Chains A and B, each alone.
Chain A
Amino acid sequence: MKHLCAVVLILHLVALSFSCNEGTNTLFDNIIHDTQVSDNNQLGNTAKVPSITKFNGDYFAATGVIRWRNEGDTVWSTLTLASGLHNTVATDGVTYLYAGILYNDGTGSLYQCSNPTSAPSSGSISVTDLKNILKIRNFGSSTPYDVYASYGKTDGTFSICNISGTTATEDPGVAGISPSLTDSINNFDYQGGTLYFVSGTKVYRGATLLTPSTTAHTYTGIMYDTVDSRILVSTNDGYILRSTDATGTSTPWEQNSEQCIYNNGSTDLPVPFTEIVPLDSNLYLVGSRGAGFWIIDWTVADAKDRVKRWNGSSYSDLYNGSIESIFIDASAGPRGFFCTIGAGLWDNTITVTLNSTPPPTYNINYGDPWTRE
């Protein structure tokens, strides 16, 4: 009897260790798609890469300095505009590369650089009351791109400036907001002549304050969907909200009906979403801090199934990564670049496949190996 108990106990322990967490795809499916990562060993697998852009066929990534490579190359070169931490990068697509540089004392500068790959010529750009640059982004598909930067001011408030050539001008809409923004501008978008941005718990279209939800959220990402004429915002507590009209004035907005949750290894936590980018009509990607990236499909009727985590748990550094920004290079596949904080830069051809329903699950990049720069 003693032996029987021992056998039962052992079998029970074995069964527990194999306990059935089924996942959204079958186990064999996960195995098949665990393709080998192509590691270029150029930027480092623990690199912090907050931002990337493309200028004249070359990719430029902010990694502390600026690293760049041609679209068809695998080797990255280094460009340093000044001493300090190069933490964000963008371009007008014609002449200038722009970078934000952060110093040890918390102050920073905005720099421009022409001919960055052949004969770099750089200099600082004056921004009135600048304390430090938070983020620079370029918008639009035709050059010159619209370039905007969010920044902290010396008085402790935050604002956004437009950058054109070697001149930066504070956006008049943002400048006119009263009282001034005291919460950091976490993200912004510029489409059709309108600036959209989120500052702490507030969402703005130009100078107009919007109310996406009756519940307070800290907003971390915003985009305007030019195809479907809707505004989307992400929150740091697992929600995605989309306006029901083009202006976002009708409230409340639609949202995923169930809070997105991830497990950090020991605890279930709300997903702290970051930047949202468009992929196709009603289809978007959103990054997160600690749970990789997620796929948003607003065509799904059941609101709880609209936001799904990418099925890529084989690539644990990306799957569990902190993705600060996502850059979609539409002319190269499209190819998606996932900028992580501490897990390097990942990229792949982006093909989203909606599996049979219900419930919807998504595959992305199946068949293509990931590149880790």
Chain B
Amino acid sequence: MTAAPKKTIVTAIAVLLFLQAGFLQAQESKPQPPPPRAGAVTHILGDQSFIFGLGALFPLFFVKMSDGTVEATNLSIGPKASIEYMNYLSQSFALGIEVTGGFAFSPNFNIYWALPITAKIIYIIYIGSTQLFLDLGAGIILEKFLEYGHLDFFAKPQVSFYIPIDPTLDLGLAVGYWFVPQFATPDQPQDQSRLGNFLDISVSLIYHL
């Protein structure tokens, strides 16, 4: 599959392309990727895909940074949805940027909203005609609870498994783990810094452009 030049989309994620520029230069001086295996779909530098995800967000636990105390999150399981733009560097590596939205309820039906924006590097392992994606993402997460809002850093390793449906579509299951370190501001008690741990499980669909 060759990349279709989608200039408008590429411009829209200018940050991603900026990061990618270094890789592009590096790629030019490197040897060509190994030839594709029989039966496998071949991706080359510049191939683009969108990944759509729909699933559930599992708030697992908080860890108090001051003393390591593990605390229940007090939140229900909630829905989540995501959209990711992915740009292949080679047959086995890709870069992506993902926007996720999810929420969960407290016992009093107050809503915890989360909106992570993640830059990712993806390593792809081909197993026959199926693919195993190993992602490592980092970014920011915008959160809201009651009238309070907060912005934290965010890290997310993820494993996804895809089977091809047709040359442009792959269907799979993705399991991601959210690390959300939340540091108290200078105006807040310092012993309230916590590491949030969440699991997200979703059904994913890759659309190759």
A29 contacts B115, CB within 8 Å? no
* A25 proximal to B (CB < 8 A): yes
Name the B residues within 8 Å of A21 (CB-CB): 147-149
The answer to whether residues A32 and B108 also contact, given A22-B188, A361-B189 and a CB cut-off of 8 A, is: no
How far is the CB of A361 from the nearest CB of chain B, in Å? Answer: 6
CB atoms of A18 and B113 under 8 A apart = yes
- Complex CA–CA separation, A19 to B113 (angstroms): 12
Q: Do residues B106 and A18 form an inter-chain contact, with CB atoms below 8 A? A: no
Interchain CB contact under 8 A, B150 and A25: no
With a CB–CB cut-off of 8 A, which chain B residues contact A267? none
Q: Once the chains bind, are A14 and B142 in contact (CB under 8 Å)?
A: yes
B150 near A26: Cβ-Cβ < 8 Å: yes
Q: Does B196 contact A (CB under 8 A)?
A: yes
Which residue of chain B is the closest to A23 with respect to CB atoms?
Answer: B148
- Give the residues in chain B near A20, CB-CB below 8 Å: 149-151
Complex Cα distance A361/B191, Å?
12
* A33 to B110 Cα, complex, angstroms: 12
Closest B residue to A20 using CB positions: B149
Do residues A28 and B62 form an inter-chain contact, with CB atoms below 8 A? yes
Q: Is the CB of B188 within 8 A of A3?
A: no
**Out of B75, B108, B190, which one reaches A36, CB within 8 Å?**
B108
**What distance in Å separates the Cβ of B111 from its nearest Cβ neighbour in chain A?**
10
Query: Is A229 an interface residue, CB under 8 A from the partner?
Result: no
Interface string of B90-112 (1 = CB under 8 A from A): 00000000000000001110101
Query: How far is B113's CA from A320's CA once the two chains are assembled, in angstroms?
Result: 22
Look across to chain B and name the residue whose beta carbon is closest to the beta carbon of A263.
B147
Contact indicator A29/B151 (Cβ below 8 Å) = no
Indicate if A216 sits at the interface (CB-CB under 8 A).
Answer: no
Tell me, in angstroms, the Cα distance from A132 to B185 when the chains sit together.
Answer: 52
Task: Check B188 against A31 for contact (C-beta < 8 Å).
Answer: no
Given the known interface contacts A28-B182, A31-B112, A34-B106, the answer about A22 and B12 at a Cβ–Cβ threshold of 8 Å is: no
Task: Given A23-B148, A24-B188, verify A18-B12 contact (CB < 8 Å).
Answer: no
Query: Smallest CB-CB separation from B8: which chain A residue?
Result: A3
Q: Name A1's closest neighbour in chain B (CB-CB).
A: B11
Q: A7-B12, A20-B149, A27-B143 are in contact. Are A32 and B71 (CB under 8 A)?
A: yes
A35 CA to B72 CA, complexed, in Å: 11
Q: How many interface contacts (CB-CB < 8 Å) are there between A and B?
A: 111
Total interface residues on B, CB under 8 Å, equals 41
B52 → chain A, closest Cβ, in Å?
17
Find the A residue at minimum CB distance from B66.
Answer: A356
Q: Do A34 and B187 touch across chains, with their CB atoms under 8 A apart? A: no
For residue A15, CB closer than 8 A to chain B, the reply is yes
A210 to chain B, nearest CB (A): 36
A26 contacts B147, CB within 8 Å? no
Are A3 and B142 within 8 A (Cβ)?
no
Inter-chain CA distance A30–B12, complex, in Å, is 36
Answer yes or no: B207 CB below 8 A from chain A CBs: no
| A25 contacts B188, C-beta separation under 8 Å | yes
CA distance A36 to B14 in the complex (A): 45
- Bound Cα distance from A20 to B115, whole angstroms: 13
Q: Which residues of B contact A2 (CB under 8 A)?
A: 8
Most buried by B among A7, A28, A37, A315: A28
A37 to B106, CA, bound (A): 11
A59 to chain B, nearest CB (A): 24
Tell me which residues from 126 to 165 in chain B have a Cβ below 8 Å from any Cβ of chain A. Answer: 142-151
B2 interface residue, CB < 8 Å from A?
A: no
**CB-based contact A35/B148 at 8 Å:** no
In angstroms, Cα B191 to Cα A25, docked, is 10
> Is the pair B115, A18 in contact by a Cβ cutoff of 8 Å?
yes
What is the 8 Å Cβ interface bit string for chain B, positions 43-75, against chain A (1 contact, 0 not)?
000000000000000000010000000011111
8 Å CB contact of A28 from B110, B187, B189, B192: B192
**Docked complex Cα distance between A36 and B148 (Å):** 19
Complex CA–CA separation, A359 to B13 (angstroms): 41
The reply to whether A18 and B146 form a contact with Cβ atoms under 8 Å apart is no
Residues of A within 8 A of B112 (CB): 31
Fill in one digit per residue for A293-323: 1 if any B CB lies within 8 Å of its CB, else 0. Answer: 0000000000000000000011110000000
A31 contacts across to B, CB distance below 8 A:
73-75, 106, 112, 145
Q: How far apart are the CA atoms of A3 and B85 in the complex, in Å?
A: 15
Contact B74 A356 (CB under 8 A): no
Interface residues of B in 183-209 (CB under 8 A from A): 184-185, 187-194, 196
6 A-B pairs (CB sep. < 8 Å): A6-B12, A26-B182, A27-B182, A29-B192, A37-B108, A361-B188
Contacts beyond the supplied A23-B148, A33-B74: 5 A-B pairs with Cβ under 8 Å? A20-B149, A22-B148, A27-B149, A28-B62, A32-B71
- Top 6 closest pairs, chain A to chain B, by CB: A36-B107, A18-B142, A355-B189, A34-B106, A26-B192, A23-B148
